[in-house]
Structure 1
Amino acid sequence: MSRKLTPYLFVLPLMTFIALFTYIPIVTSLNLSFREWDFMSPDKPFVGFDNYRLLLSSHEFWNSLYVTTIFAVISVPLRLVLALGVASFLTRETLAPRLLRGALFLPSVTSTVSIAVVFSWVFSTDYGMANALLQSLGAGKVPWLQDPQIALWVLIFVNTWKQLGYDIVIYIAGLQAIPRELYDAAAVDGGSRFHVFRRVTVPLVMPTTYFLLVISVIEAFQVFTIVSVMTHGGPAGATDLLVNMLYRIGFTLFDIGTGSALAVLLFIFLIVLAFIKARVIGRRVHYEA
């Protein structure tokens, strides 16, 4: 009996940690989504699906969902395409590619708050580096973070700049796992670099692409710090991503029930997206692999 219990005792601390900080909060949030609570009142009256009905009938929720979807649809493919392109040039184990890998990976492990503050200065209308560069070229000032048509693109750029290094490193690992003999065979057959990249590299790196696609979409729907520091969801709700809206409802308005309902809806939405990706892309990945 002791031999059978030993493996479980080894994983018990980790499972306890996961239960305390993952599973119990999920169940608690689900319970609160059916109740009305303001953090202070000892009572938490049961209101059924009222919180969900309030969200689904709110223009603010649908605008936030639309903005978040646009953010993900633009930023995720952009990250993956750029990462694969850059990784293709950094697979060699020489000094220069190694230094570039480190330089590109550094933003992904840098504090998001620090990055957001720095880029807030860079894209400041009055004293930012971006407008100073434009003025030196004879152009006028651009209200980067005040224009509803531009602000979301700035956030996409900043988030891509921060996360790109991680994607590059993962792609490099996937590219280095491709047998060199396949490239030699393609070269003997007279394939151009583009055709080799399209017919050999892209199909064989699909498992890596699928992995990055899943985690990148989840990350895109959970972006909060950059929005909170740089735009606060403005201007006019143009950058009001779902997690920013969740924070505002739960921790500014202290409407914990509605905030929990939004968290549950976001969780369900991500689960559905993951299922669709597994059905549509996952089969292709396993087939090509």
Structure 2
Amino acid sequence: MSRFYMPYLFVAPILLLMAAFTYYPIWMSFDLSFRSWDFLSDAKPYVGLQNYKTLMASSEFTNAVKITVLFVIFSVPVRLVLALLIASYLIREDRISRFMRGAFFLPTVTSSVAIAVIFSWFFSTDIGMANAILSWFGIPQQQWLQQPSLALIVLIVVNTWKQIGYDIVIYIAGLQAIPRDLYEATAIDGASRWKTFRFITLPLLMPTTYFLLVVSVIEAFQVFTIVDVMTEGGPAGGTDMLVYMLYRIGFTLFDIGQGSALAVMLFILLVVITVIKSRFLGKRVHYEA
């Protein structure tokens, strides 16, 4: 009997921490989404689905969903494609490749606030390096963070620059796991580089790609810091994404009920997207692997 309970005894501390700081807050958010609370009073009257109805009828919520979906659609595929191309080059074992792996991965572990501040200066209209580079080619200055479409593109660039190092490292690990014998066999058969990449590399990388796709989509839906530091959801709501809207409702307007409702809706949305991806790509991933 002691052997049966001993493993649970060892994992009990981390389970208690997860219960206190993960599962209990999730349950509280779910409970508060059905209540009205201003974060200051003790009264938390039950309002049912009113918070959800208010959000669904809000034009700000519709705009935040649209902006977030656009951000995900235009950032995740670019990240994965660039990461695969760079990883295919950096898989070589030499000093330059090892140095470049570290250089690409460094932004991933760098403070998001520091990165956002630096890029705010870089894309500044008056003193930014981006406009200085454009001036070398006779291109007029651009208001990078003052135009909604350009501001969203800037955020996509910044987020890609920060996160792509992680994708590259995972892709390199996936490439290294592919047996070299397969490449030798295709070389003997006279297959071109493109055919080798299409029929050997890509299929065997499907599990890695699937993992990165799931992680990248979740991360893109939760982008907050660069939005808060660089644009604050502006201009004209052009970068007002779901997590930033959640922060603004919950911690600026102190409407914890609506903020919790938005958090629950975001959680459900991510679960649904993950299930859909698993349903359509899961069988292909496991079959190809």
Query: Is the partner of 2:146 in helix, strand or coil?
Result: coil
Alignment match, 2:80 = 80
Instruction: Give the alignment's Cα RMSD to 1 decimal.
Output: 0.7
* TM-superposed deviation, 1:44: 0.3
Structure 2: gaps spanning 5 or more residues: none
Per the TM alignment, residue 12 of structure 1 is displaced from its structure 2 partner at its CA by 0.6
- Please state if 1:190 is matched with 2:187: no
**Is structure 2 residue 251 aligned with structure 1 residue 251?**
yes
Q: Could you tell me how far 1:5 is from its partner in structure 2?
A: 1.6
Q: How does 1:61-140 map to 2 (within 5 A)?
A: 61-140=61-140
Cα separation, 1, equivalents of 2:136 and 2:86: 30
> Is the counterpart of residue 268 in structure 1 residue 254 in structure 2?
no
State the alpha-carbon separation in 1 of the partners of residues 214 and 15 from structure 2: 24
How many residue pairs get aligned? The number is 289
Matches within 5 A, 1:156-235: 156-235=156-235
CA distance in 2, matches of 1:217, 1:235: 24
Q: CA deviation at 1:4?
A: 1.8
2:6 corresponding residue in structure 1: 6
Cα drift, residue 136 of structure 1:
2.5
CA drift at 1:139: 1.8
Work out the CA distance in 2 between the residues paired with 1:230 and 1:246: 17
How high is the TM-score relative to the length of structure 2? 0.99
- Report the Cα distance in structure 2 between the residues aligned to 1:62 and 1:18, rounded to whole angstroms: 33
Q: What SS does the aligned partner of 1:149 have?
A: helix
Question: What is the distance in 2 between the residues matched to 1:269 and 1:80?
Answer: 22
1-structure distance, mates of 2:36, 2:149 = 36
Letter in 2 for 1:24: Y
TM superposition shift of 1:2 = 2.3
Distance in 2 of aligned mates of 1:173 and 1:207: 12
Partner of 2:49: 49
CA deviation map 1:1-28 (0-9, x unaligned): 3222211111011111111111000000
Aligned-residue offset at 1:167: 0.1
TM-score when normalising by structure 1: 0.99
Deviations 1:198-243 (A, max 9, x none): 1110000000000000000000000000000000000011100100
Post-superposition offset of 1:148: 1.1
Alignment partner, residue 37 of structure 1 = 37
| Cα distance in 2 for residues equivalent to 1:224 and 1:44 | 28
Is 1:26 the counterpart of 2:17? The answer is no
Identical positions, percent: 66
CA displacement at 1:88 relative to structure 2: 0.5
Offset from partner CA, 1:262-286 (integer Å, 9 cap, x none): 0000000000000000000111101
Deviation, 1:173, is: 0.2
Partner of 2:147: 147
Q: Deviations over 1:143-176 (max 9, x none)?
A: 0000112110000000000000000000000000
AA at the equivalent of 1:238: G
Which portions of structure 1, spanning 4 or more consecutive aligned residues, are displaced by more than 2 angstroms?
none
The CA deviation at 1:191 is 0.8
1:62-113 Cα offsets, whole Å, 9 max, x none, are 1100100010011001000000011001112211110110001000010000
SS in 2 for 1:9: helix
Secondary structure at the counterpart of residue 223 of structure 1 = coil
Amino acid at match of 2:172: I
The 2-side partners of 1:142 and 1:260 are apart by: 38
Unmatched 5+ stretches in structure 1: none
